[in-house]
Amino acid sequence: MASTQSPGPSSRSSRGTPSPSPARRRFFSGENVVNPNTFSYYATFHPERVVETASLASVAPPHASYNLHLPEKTIENSSLSPLQLETIKYACKQNDKILPDGSRAGFFIGDCTGFGKRRMIAGIVFENHQKGRKKAIWVSASSALKYDAERDLRDIGADSIPVYALKEMQYGNISAEIKDGVLFSTYSSLIRESKFGGECNTRFSQLIQWCGEDFDGVIVLDECHRAKNIFPTGSTQPTKTGLRVLELQKKLPNARVIYASATGASEPRHMAYMVRLGLWGKGTPFKKLIDFIEAIEKRGLAALEILAMEMKHRGMYKSEQSSFSKAQFNVYFLFLTLKTSYYL
Protein backbone atom coordinates (compact mmCIF):
# COMPACT_ATOMS: atom_id res chain seq x y z
CA MET A 1 0.00 0.00 0.00
CA ALA A 2 1.29 3.48 -0.74
CA SER A 3 2.66 5.53 2.13
CA THR A 4 0.20 7.19 4.47
CA GLN A 5 2.64 9.83 5.71
CA SER A 6 1.71 13.48 5.33
CA PRO A 7 1.78 14.09 1.57
CA GLY A 8 3.45 16.85 -0.34
CA PRO A 9 1.49 19.14 -2.63
CA SER A 10 1.67 16.80 -5.62
CA SER A 11 1.25 13.45 -3.87
CA ARG A 12 -1.19 11.01 -5.47
CA SER A 13 -0.63 8.08 -3.10
CA SER A 14 -2.11 9.71 0.01
CA ARG A 15 -4.76 12.27 -0.80
CA GLY A 16 -6.72 13.51 2.16
CA THR A 17 -6.27 17.17 1.18
CA PRO A 18 -6.67 18.38 -2.41
CA SER A 19 -4.11 20.63 -4.04
CA PRO A 20 -4.33 22.76 -7.19
CA SER A 21 -3.67 20.55 -10.21
CA PRO A 22 -0.60 21.18 -12.40
CA ALA A 23 -2.94 22.31 -15.18
CA ARG A 24 -4.27 25.06 -12.94
CA ARG A 25 -0.73 26.20 -12.07
CA ARG A 26 0.30 26.39 -15.72
CA PHE A 27 2.09 29.52 -16.89
CA PHE A 28 0.23 31.63 -19.41
CA SER A 29 1.49 34.18 -21.92
CA GLY A 30 2.70 37.33 -20.20
CA GLU A 31 2.72 35.77 -16.72
CA ASN A 32 5.93 34.84 -14.95
CA VAL A 33 4.67 34.21 -11.43
CA VAL A 34 2.05 31.78 -10.18
CA ASN A 35 0.92 32.34 -6.62
CA PRO A 36 -0.64 29.19 -5.10
CA ASN A 37 -2.78 31.41 -2.87
CA THR A 38 -4.65 32.47 -6.00
CA PHE A 39 -6.46 29.13 -6.04
CA SER A 40 -9.20 28.40 -3.55
CA TYR A 41 -10.34 24.98 -2.41
CA TYR A 42 -13.87 23.85 -3.19
CA ALA A 43 -16.18 21.61 -1.16
CA THR A 44 -14.66 20.17 2.03
CA PHE A 45 -11.80 17.79 2.59
CA HIS A 46 -12.49 14.06 2.59
CA PRO A 47 -13.07 12.99 6.21
CA GLU A 48 -10.19 10.49 6.10
CA ARG A 49 -6.82 10.34 4.42
CA VAL A 50 -7.07 8.27 1.24
CA VAL A 51 -4.53 5.84 -0.19
CA GLU A 52 -4.04 3.72 -3.28
CA THR A 53 -1.98 0.62 -3.85
CA ALA A 54 1.62 1.38 -4.79
CA SER A 55 1.08 0.16 -8.35
CA LEU A 56 -1.98 2.36 -8.95
CA ALA A 57 -0.32 5.34 -7.29
CA SER A 58 2.55 5.05 -9.78
CA VAL A 59 0.37 6.05 -12.75
CA ALA A 60 -1.58 9.24 -13.30
CA PRO A 61 -5.11 9.36 -14.70
CA PRO A 62 -5.88 11.55 -17.71
CA HIS A 63 -6.78 15.18 -17.20
CA ALA A 64 -10.33 15.50 -15.87
CA SER A 65 -11.50 18.03 -18.45
CA TYR A 66 -15.22 17.43 -17.87
CA ASN A 67 -17.21 20.39 -16.50
CA LEU A 68 -19.73 19.46 -13.82
CA HIS A 69 -23.28 20.82 -13.94
CA LEU A 70 -24.13 20.11 -10.31
CA PRO A 71 -25.68 23.03 -8.39
CA GLU A 72 -23.27 25.13 -6.37
CA LYS A 73 -25.11 24.32 -3.16
CA THR A 74 -24.41 20.61 -3.73
CA ILE A 75 -20.69 21.31 -3.85
CA GLU A 76 -20.72 23.82 -1.01
CA ASN A 77 -22.85 21.89 1.50
CA SER A 78 -20.09 19.35 2.19
CA SER A 79 -22.15 16.39 0.95
CA LEU A 80 -19.48 15.47 -1.61
CA SER A 81 -15.73 15.69 -0.98
CA PRO A 82 -13.30 16.84 -3.70
CA LEU A 83 -12.16 13.24 -4.16
CA GLN A 84 -15.74 12.11 -4.72
CA LEU A 85 -16.35 14.99 -7.12
CA GLU A 86 -13.22 13.95 -9.00
CA THR A 87 -14.64 10.45 -9.47
CA ILE A 88 -17.93 11.88 -10.73
CA LYS A 89 -16.02 13.96 -13.29
CA TYR A 90 -14.01 10.98 -14.54
CA ALA A 91 -17.11 8.79 -14.76
CA CYS A 92 -19.08 11.36 -16.73
CA LYS A 93 -16.14 12.05 -19.02
CA GLN A 94 -15.73 8.34 -19.73
CA ASN A 95 -19.45 7.95 -20.37
CA ASP A 96 -19.21 10.57 -23.12
CA LYS A 97 -16.98 8.24 -25.16
CA ILE A 98 -18.18 5.78 -27.79
CA LEU A 99 -16.39 2.43 -28.10
CA PRO A 100 -15.29 1.05 -31.50
CA ASP A 101 -18.25 -1.38 -31.49
CA GLY A 102 -20.67 1.56 -31.27
CA SER A 103 -21.72 1.16 -27.64
CA ARG A 104 -21.10 3.81 -24.99
CA ALA A 105 -18.09 3.45 -22.67
CA GLY A 106 -18.59 2.59 -19.01
CA PHE A 107 -16.73 3.41 -15.80
CA PHE A 108 -15.67 1.15 -12.92
CA ILE A 109 -15.72 2.50 -9.35
CA GLY A 110 -13.60 0.04 -7.37
CA ASP A 111 -13.19 2.00 -4.14
CA CYS A 112 -13.08 -0.07 -0.97
CA THR A 113 -15.89 -0.37 1.54
CA GLY A 114 -16.68 2.81 3.46
CA PHE A 115 -15.36 5.27 0.89
CA GLY A 116 -18.80 6.42 -0.21
CA LYS A 117 -19.43 4.69 -3.53
CA ARG A 118 -23.19 5.15 -3.36
CA ARG A 119 -22.81 8.85 -2.61
CA MET A 120 -20.73 9.15 -5.78
CA ILE A 121 -23.32 7.13 -7.71
CA ALA A 122 -25.99 9.53 -6.51
CA GLY A 123 -23.80 12.38 -7.74
CA ILE A 124 -23.51 10.77 -11.19
CA VAL A 125 -27.28 10.30 -11.38
CA PHE A 126 -27.82 13.92 -10.31
CA GLU A 127 -25.28 15.22 -12.83
CA ASN A 128 -27.03 13.42 -15.68
CA HIS A 129 -30.41 14.63 -14.43
CA GLN A 130 -29.09 18.19 -14.59
CA LYS A 131 -28.14 17.61 -18.23
CA GLY A 132 -31.63 16.48 -19.19
CA ARG A 133 -31.28 12.73 -18.79
CA LYS A 134 -34.19 12.30 -16.41
CA LYS A 135 -34.36 8.49 -16.31
CA ALA A 136 -31.90 6.18 -14.57
CA ILE A 137 -31.72 2.51 -13.59
CA TRP A 138 -30.10 1.55 -10.29
CA VAL A 139 -29.48 -2.17 -9.76
CA SER A 140 -28.18 -3.37 -6.39
CA ALA A 141 -27.94 -6.43 -4.18
CA SER A 142 -30.80 -5.75 -1.76
CA SER A 143 -34.15 -4.00 -1.95
CA ALA A 144 -33.35 -2.29 1.37
CA LEU A 145 -30.62 -0.30 -0.39
CA LYS A 146 -33.35 1.68 -2.15
CA TYR A 147 -33.66 3.74 1.02
CA ASP A 148 -29.91 4.34 1.03
CA ALA A 149 -30.18 5.56 -2.56
CA GLU A 150 -32.98 7.95 -1.58
CA ARG A 151 -30.96 9.21 1.38
CA ASP A 152 -27.83 9.82 -0.71
CA LEU A 153 -29.82 11.70 -3.36
CA ARG A 154 -31.48 13.76 -0.65
CA ASP A 155 -28.17 14.55 1.04
CA ILE A 156 -26.67 16.00 -2.14
CA GLY A 157 -29.72 18.14 -2.84
CA ALA A 158 -31.36 15.84 -5.39
CA ASP A 159 -34.43 15.04 -3.30
CA SER A 160 -36.60 16.09 -6.26
CA ILE A 161 -35.52 12.92 -8.10
CA PRO A 162 -38.01 10.16 -7.18
CA VAL A 163 -36.84 6.58 -6.62
CA TYR A 164 -39.23 3.74 -7.48
CA ALA A 165 -38.87 0.10 -6.48
CA LEU A 166 -39.41 -2.13 -9.51
CA LYS A 167 -40.57 -5.05 -7.38
CA GLU A 168 -43.51 -3.00 -6.09
CA MET A 169 -44.81 -2.32 -9.60
CA GLN A 170 -47.56 -4.32 -11.25
CA TYR A 171 -46.39 -6.31 -14.27
CA GLY A 172 -47.08 -4.58 -17.56
CA ASN A 173 -46.27 -1.25 -19.19
CA ILE A 174 -45.15 1.23 -16.52
CA SER A 175 -44.30 4.19 -18.77
CA ALA A 176 -47.62 5.91 -18.10
CA GLU A 177 -47.17 5.50 -14.35
CA ILE A 178 -43.53 6.60 -14.15
CA LYS A 179 -42.41 9.45 -16.40
CA ASP A 180 -38.91 9.93 -15.02
CA GLY A 181 -36.75 9.31 -11.96
CA VAL A 182 -34.72 6.35 -10.74
CA LEU A 183 -36.07 2.84 -11.21
CA PHE A 184 -34.47 0.70 -8.49
CA SER A 185 -34.13 -3.04 -8.98
CA THR A 186 -32.31 -5.92 -7.33
CA TYR A 187 -30.29 -8.43 -9.32
CA SER A 188 -32.76 -11.16 -8.40
CA SER A 189 -35.63 -9.06 -9.81
CA LEU A 190 -33.98 -9.05 -13.23
CA ILE A 191 -34.83 -12.74 -13.68
CA ARG A 192 -38.36 -12.69 -12.25
CA GLU A 193 -41.46 -13.06 -14.39
CA SER A 194 -45.20 -13.06 -14.01
CA LYS A 195 -47.19 -16.27 -13.83
CA PHE A 196 -49.57 -14.73 -16.33
CA GLY A 197 -48.91 -13.73 -19.92
CA GLY A 198 -49.33 -10.35 -21.48
CA GLU A 199 -47.19 -7.34 -22.29
CA CYS A 200 -44.06 -6.83 -20.19
CA ASN A 201 -44.61 -9.96 -18.13
CA THR A 202 -41.02 -9.96 -16.87
CA ARG A 203 -39.20 -7.38 -14.77
CA PHE A 204 -36.47 -7.22 -17.39
CA SER A 205 -38.90 -6.40 -20.20
CA GLN A 206 -40.43 -3.69 -18.00
CA LEU A 207 -37.02 -2.05 -17.63
CA ILE A 208 -36.30 -2.17 -21.36
CA GLN A 209 -39.75 -0.86 -22.29
CA TRP A 210 -39.54 1.98 -19.74
CA CYS A 211 -36.13 3.11 -20.99
CA GLY A 212 -36.84 2.96 -24.71
CA GLU A 213 -34.42 2.04 -27.49
CA ASP A 214 -32.63 5.42 -27.50
CA PHE A 215 -32.05 5.50 -23.75
CA ASP A 216 -28.83 7.39 -22.93
CA GLY A 217 -29.28 7.72 -19.18
CA VAL A 218 -27.37 6.03 -16.38
CA ILE A 219 -27.43 2.32 -15.59
CA VAL A 220 -25.86 1.76 -12.19
CA LEU A 221 -24.66 -1.77 -11.46
CA ASP A 222 -24.01 -1.44 -7.74
CA GLU A 223 -22.36 -4.46 -6.08
CA CYS A 224 -21.71 -5.57 -9.64
CA HIS A 225 -19.77 -8.65 -8.54
CA ARG A 226 -23.21 -10.29 -8.29
CA ALA A 227 -22.99 -10.69 -12.07
CA LYS A 228 -19.49 -12.13 -12.22
CA ASN A 229 -20.34 -15.77 -12.92
CA ILE A 230 -21.25 -15.67 -16.59
CA PHE A 231 -18.12 -17.31 -17.99
CA PRO A 232 -18.50 -21.09 -17.61
CA THR A 233 -15.66 -23.10 -16.10
CA GLY A 234 -15.65 -26.88 -16.28
CA SER A 235 -19.15 -28.24 -15.78
CA THR A 236 -20.57 -24.97 -14.42
CA GLN A 237 -23.12 -22.91 -16.30
CA PRO A 238 -23.49 -19.11 -16.50
CA THR A 239 -25.89 -17.69 -13.92
CA LYS A 240 -29.20 -16.27 -15.09
CA THR A 241 -28.46 -13.04 -13.22
CA GLY A 242 -25.16 -12.55 -15.00
CA LEU A 243 -26.72 -13.21 -18.40
CA ARG A 244 -29.48 -10.68 -17.67
CA VAL A 245 -26.92 -8.02 -16.77
CA LEU A 246 -25.09 -8.73 -20.01
CA GLU A 247 -28.34 -8.57 -22.00
CA LEU A 248 -29.33 -5.31 -20.31
CA GLN A 249 -26.15 -3.67 -21.61
CA LYS A 250 -26.65 -5.09 -25.10
CA LYS A 251 -30.29 -3.98 -25.32
CA LEU A 252 -29.38 -0.41 -24.33
CA PRO A 253 -26.09 0.28 -26.15
CA ASN A 254 -26.27 4.04 -25.60
CA ALA A 255 -26.73 3.81 -21.82
CA ARG A 256 -24.09 5.23 -19.48
CA VAL A 257 -23.03 2.20 -17.46
CA ILE A 258 -21.42 2.54 -14.03
CA TYR A 259 -19.92 -0.56 -12.42
CA ALA A 260 -19.41 -0.27 -8.65
CA SER A 261 -17.89 -2.88 -6.37
CA ALA A 262 -14.98 -3.25 -3.97
CA THR A 263 -14.54 -6.84 -5.22
CA GLY A 264 -15.55 -6.53 -8.84
CA ALA A 265 -12.72 -8.45 -10.51
CA SER A 266 -10.64 -10.82 -8.41
CA GLU A 267 -10.09 -12.94 -11.55
CA PRO A 268 -10.08 -11.94 -15.24
CA ARG A 269 -13.03 -14.25 -16.02
CA HIS A 270 -15.08 -12.37 -13.42
CA MET A 271 -14.90 -9.30 -15.65
CA ALA A 272 -16.89 -10.95 -18.44
CA TYR A 273 -19.95 -8.76 -17.76
CA MET A 274 -17.89 -5.54 -17.96
CA VAL A 275 -18.31 -5.24 -21.71
CA ARG A 276 -18.47 -1.43 -21.60
CA LEU A 277 -14.86 -1.09 -20.49
CA GLY A 278 -13.75 -1.97 -24.03
CA LEU A 279 -10.99 -4.34 -22.94
CA TRP A 280 -11.74 -6.91 -25.64
CA GLY A 281 -13.51 -7.00 -28.99
CA LYS A 282 -13.38 -4.55 -31.86
CA GLY A 283 -10.51 -2.07 -31.70
CA THR A 284 -8.56 -3.99 -29.01
CA PRO A 285 -5.67 -6.51 -29.08
CA PHE A 286 -8.09 -9.23 -27.94
CA LYS A 287 -10.61 -10.31 -30.55
CA LYS A 288 -12.73 -12.31 -28.10
CA LEU A 289 -13.31 -12.46 -24.36
CA ILE A 290 -11.52 -15.82 -24.11
CA ASP A 291 -8.39 -14.27 -25.66
CA PHE A 292 -8.40 -11.57 -22.98
CA ILE A 293 -8.90 -14.07 -20.15
CA GLU A 294 -6.18 -16.44 -21.33
CA ALA A 295 -3.67 -13.63 -21.84
CA ILE A 296 -4.16 -12.27 -18.31
CA GLU A 297 -4.42 -15.63 -16.52
CA LYS A 298 -1.27 -16.91 -18.22
CA ARG A 299 0.73 -14.04 -16.68
CA GLY A 300 -0.74 -14.21 -13.20
CA LEU A 301 -1.22 -11.52 -10.57
CA ALA A 302 1.33 -9.17 -12.12
CA ALA A 303 -0.78 -8.95 -15.27
CA LEU A 304 -3.87 -8.06 -13.21
CA GLU A 305 -1.95 -5.23 -11.56
CA ILE A 306 -0.76 -3.95 -14.92
CA LEU A 307 -4.32 -4.16 -16.22
CA ALA A 308 -5.59 -2.08 -13.29
CA MET A 309 -2.85 0.49 -13.93
CA GLU A 310 -3.76 0.68 -17.62
CA MET A 311 -7.45 1.09 -16.80
CA LYS A 312 -6.70 3.95 -14.42
CA HIS A 313 -4.37 5.56 -16.97
CA ARG A 314 -7.17 5.48 -19.56
CA GLY A 315 -9.63 7.06 -17.14
CA MET A 316 -12.05 4.12 -16.86
CA TYR A 317 -11.21 2.90 -13.35
CA LYS A 318 -10.65 4.25 -9.87
CA SER A 319 -9.83 2.32 -6.70
CA GLU A 320 -8.99 4.09 -3.47
CA GLN A 321 -9.53 3.37 0.19
CA SER A 322 -9.33 4.97 3.60
CA SER A 323 -5.88 4.79 5.15
CA PHE A 324 -7.21 3.94 8.65
CA SER A 325 -4.34 6.08 9.92
CA LYS A 326 -6.34 7.05 13.00
CA ALA A 327 -7.64 3.56 13.71
CA GLN A 328 -6.64 1.88 16.96
CA PHE A 329 -6.90 -1.73 18.05
CA ASN A 330 -5.95 -3.96 20.94
CA VAL A 331 -4.87 -7.60 20.88
CA TYR A 332 -6.33 -9.91 23.51
CA PHE A 333 -5.38 -13.52 24.11
CA LEU A 334 -8.31 -15.76 24.97
CA PHE A 335 -7.62 -19.06 26.65
CA LEU A 336 -10.24 -21.62 25.77
CA THR A 337 -11.52 -24.35 27.99
CA LEU A 338 -12.32 -27.79 26.66
CA LYS A 339 -16.00 -26.83 26.61
CA THR A 340 -15.59 -23.54 24.72
CA SER A 341 -13.13 -25.01 22.21
CA TYR A 342 -15.89 -27.36 21.10
CA TYR A 343 -17.53 -24.46 19.22
CA LEU A 344 -14.47 -23.70 17.07
Q: Distance between CA atoms of 130 and 75, rounded to whole angstroms? A: 14
| pLDDT, tens only, 194-219 | 888 778 899 999 999 999 989 999 99
| pLDDT, tens only, 303-333 | 999 999 999 999 999 999 888 888 898 999 9
Q: What is the architecture of the domain spanning 55-319?
A: 3-Layer(aba) Sandwich (3.40)
Amino acid at 33: V
Mean pLDDT over all residues of the chain? 87
Q: Distance between CA atoms of 73 and 219, rounded to whole angstroms? A: 25
Phi first, then psi: what are they for 78, rounded to 5°?
70, 15
> What pTM was computed for the model?
0.83
Write down the pLDDT at residue 282. 95
Return the domain boundaries, the chain.
55-319
Write down the pLDDT at residue 19. 45
Write down the pLDDT at residue 145. 96
Write down the pLDDT at residue 24. 41
Would you place residue 103 in the very low, low, confident or very high pLDDT band (cuts 50, 70, 90)? very high
| pLDDT, tens only, 2-48 | 443 333 333 344 555 444 444 444 434 444 555 555 555 666 777 77
Would you place residue 131 in the very low, low, confident or very high pLDDT band (cuts 50, 70, 90)? very high
| pLDDT, tens only, 252-270 | 999 999 999 998 778 899 9
Decide: 52 and 319 in contact? Cβ < 8 Å: yes
Q: Distance between CA atoms of 75 and 157, rounded to whole angstroms? A: 10
184 closest CA partner among 144, 157, 131: 144
Q: In the beta sheet, which residues pair with residue 317?
A: 108
DSSP codes, 152-178 = HHHHTT-TTS-EEEGGGSPSS--TTT-
Write down the pLDDT at residue 322. 83
Write down the pLDDT at residue 56. 94
State mean pLDDT over 165-183. Answer: 93
| pLDDT, tens only, 213-232 | 899 999 999 999 999 989 87
